[in-house]
Amino acid sequence: MTHHTSLRPLRSHMNARGVAACIVPTADPHLSEYLPARWKTRAWLSGFSGSAGTLVVGGDFAGLWTDSRYFEQAERELAGSDIALMKQRVAHAPEHLAWLSARLHAGAKVSIAPDMLSLAGARQLRATFDPAGIELLLEDLPGAIWSERPALPTAPIRAHDPAFACATRAARLAGTCTALHDAGATHHLISSLDDIAWITLLRGSDVEYNPVFLAHLLVAADRATLFVPSGKIDPALRAALAADGIMLADYADITAACAALPADARLLVDPARVAVATLAALPASVQRIEASNPSTAAKARKSTCELDHWREVMARDGAALARAFRQIDTRVRGGEQLSEMDVDDIVCAERAREADFIAPSFATIAGYAANGALPHYRATPQHHAPLQARGLLLVDSGGQYLGGTTDITRVWALGETTSEEREDFTRVLAGMIALSRARFPAGASGPQLDALARAPLWAAAADYGHGTGHGVGYFLNVHEGPQGIRPPVPGGALVALEPGMVTSIEPGLYRPGRHGVRHENLAATRTCAQSEFGTFLEFETLTLCPFDTRPLLPALLDAAARAWLDAYHARVRTLLAPRLSGGDRDWLEARCAPLAAA
């Protein structure tokens, strides 16, 4: 039974403040993907625990906007409350804004917490509300009535093991200072947690899956101040940070520190990654220079050292998965009763046996049959399916290792498959291979290449509703910018895929109620040719794990794709076999057999 907080106290507080509607987004002061409990206000008020959604509470209505990934879950979790599920068409789109402005009269007040709203988000709100005469009140009304609000997380902050860090803190800081100087700034405020972890070479565990910690970083030409809750950094690390030019201050003092900036300061900020509250007291005379955090681009271009560690991590991750998948494959085919929850347990347990493994990099998606058609499915103790010795099992999982982050999706035939399953399985693989073997000119962006992965699906009048790839951090966030592979959208960024960037390649195909297919590898961009037409790049596939060739229809792959797959399997076998033994090794050899012999 889901817990619903009564909306009555909030409504009476809204009444007292003359507020017609209160927007409760899914956000924190760092605009992170995963929130600490303290900012799970929307989940606390509504009972809806999904990772994306916006609650709007009015005097006589309350609605929860979320997208198709969460319709089922939201319906279940909102049942019994008076909150209506508002089905959002596009993920992450602020569709509640147009809804609200069409329904509120001029002069009405709408509140939102300023520590859960980026500068860019505030601008978008004003652009919608101003023409309608709606007033925006930047005030945390739910926070004011949340008596048992969780405290800030207290997990310790540690240095990234120097054996894996591949950089010195002083060099990272110097690079940041150069970048802020180049941007014409005197100061640079960073609130995005992965940027801060990357610059400081620190890691934490304040949120699920991402090894980051709550902080702000204020960099000036000659010094930097890290704002963290006190007590999370031990004296030795504090001294080491000081030696590198990083002083500590309390997490709560960032607003005051911004208020105390010199009147003629020029502050570099990323409007999408800094909250309104953080800059609430910034002197009006301080000039804001708005741009992406320079560390975001620098962090995305992985160094040779980082990629070397990552390749070793991939071999470990691949060996762990070979053991896990062999176990699932043989036990289910052997008639044993396993569930999607068991898949998650087995995969996590095998990864945990590998050296330098820290934690999963996201919640495992183990979707059997129809559950595989839900791209963001998560089996829970309450809701999960038993596996049967037929059909397809989709497993999307990943690990955080000291030497890199992994994210991989494989689809396993647990026995007989339908011809539709085999065709879908093969066409998605054709798309994954087409993009994986593409070469492209330096300067090409992910949106420019996205169609290469989709064309084999389009040929069969099929498509998928998610992006084709996302950047991945180095022992950092599994979703990392700035690059991405997705269809171009009006006004959207076109970030070039640069050498060293690590990006997922993961086309899919989902048949609601029947099955889902997604094949995902991580790939590093590297230079492959220089010609009179310039520099050309290609992908180096990093992920090492066989694809199930049993449900494959080789006739649907062209000769080049078949050759790519055989070469990939030969490489996987060479690199993983020495790390496996006995039945695991036999299973790997069978799975890596070339297609002709398959």
Applying CB under 8 A, which residues contact a copy of itself? 438-441, 444-445, 447-452, 455, 458-459, 461-463, 487-491, 493-494, 511, 528-534, 536, 558-560
Facing residues of 517 across strands? 509
- Measured from the CB atom, the residue of 113 and 509 that comes closer to a copy of itself is 509
CB of 378 to a copy of itself, least distance (A): 24
- Whether the CB-CB separation of 164 and 263 falls below 8 Å is answered with no
Q: How far is CA 15 from CA 19, 137, 146, 374, 590, in A?
A: 6, 13, 16, 40, 68
**Dist CA 306 CA 126 (whole Å):** 42
Nearer to a copy of itself, 558 or 586 (CB): 558
**Of 543, 442, 436, which is closest to residue 498 (Cα–Cα)?**
442
What are the C-alpha distances in Å from 469 to residues 322, 453, 479?
A: 23, 10, 10
Closest CB 457 distance from a copy of itself, rounded Å: 8
Pick 266 or 550: Cβ nearer a copy of itself: 266
Task: State in angstroms the smallest separation of the CB of 283 from a copy of itself.
Answer: 24
What's the min distance (Å) between Cβ of 499 and a copy of itself?
15
Question: Do the Cβ atoms of 281 and 259 come closer than 8 Å?
Answer: yes
Instruction: Work out how close the CB of 544 gets to a copy of itself at its nearest, in angstroms, rounded to a whole number.
Output: 24
- Single out the residue of 307, 526, 338 nearest to residue 414, CA to CA: 338
Max CA pair span of the chain: 75
For 92, other C-beta atoms within 10 Å of its C-beta total: 10
Residues 6+ apart with CB under 8 A from 480: 194, 299, 300, 470, 471, 472, 473
Per the CB < 8 A criterion, the answer to whether 177 and 219 are in contact is yes
Q: How far is the CB of 183 from a copy of itself (least distance, A)?
A: 18
Cα(517)–Cα(424) distance, integer angstroms: 7
Quick one: 68 or 388, whose CB is closer to a copy of itself? Answer: 68
- Beta carbons of 377 and 387 less than 8 angstroms apart: no
Pick 235 or 490: Cβ nearer a copy of itself? 490
Helix (H) or strand (E) holding 295: helix 294-300
Strand partners, 421: none
Residue 29 or 456 with smaller CB distance to a copy of itself: 456
What is the spatial distance between Cα 346 and Cα 343, in angstroms, rounded to a whole number? 5
Burial readout 575-586 (b: 16 or more C-beta within 10 A, e: otherwise): bbbebbeeebbe
The length of the chain, given as a count of residues: 598
If the CB atoms of residues 182 and 463 are measured against a copy of itself, the closer one turns out to be: 463
Bond from prior residue into 594 cis (ω within 30 degrees of 0): no
Nearest distance, CB of residue 451 and a copy of itself, angstroms: 6
With respect to a copy of itself, which residue has the nearer C-beta, 260 or 455?
Answer: 455
CA torsion through residues 81, 87, 93, 95, sign: negative
Question: Closest distance between a copy of itself and the C-beta of residue 497, in Å?
Answer: 12
Which C-beta is closer to a copy of itself: that of 375 or that of 447? Answer: 447
| Minimum distance of a copy of itself from residue 124's CB (angstroms) | 18
Q: Which is nearer to a copy of itself, 175 or 482 (CB)?
A: 482
Q: Least distance (Å) from a copy of itself to the CB of residue 486?
A: 10
CB of 453 to a copy of itself, least distance (A): 10
User: Among residues 444 and 575, whose Cβ is nearest to a copy of itself?
Assistant: 444
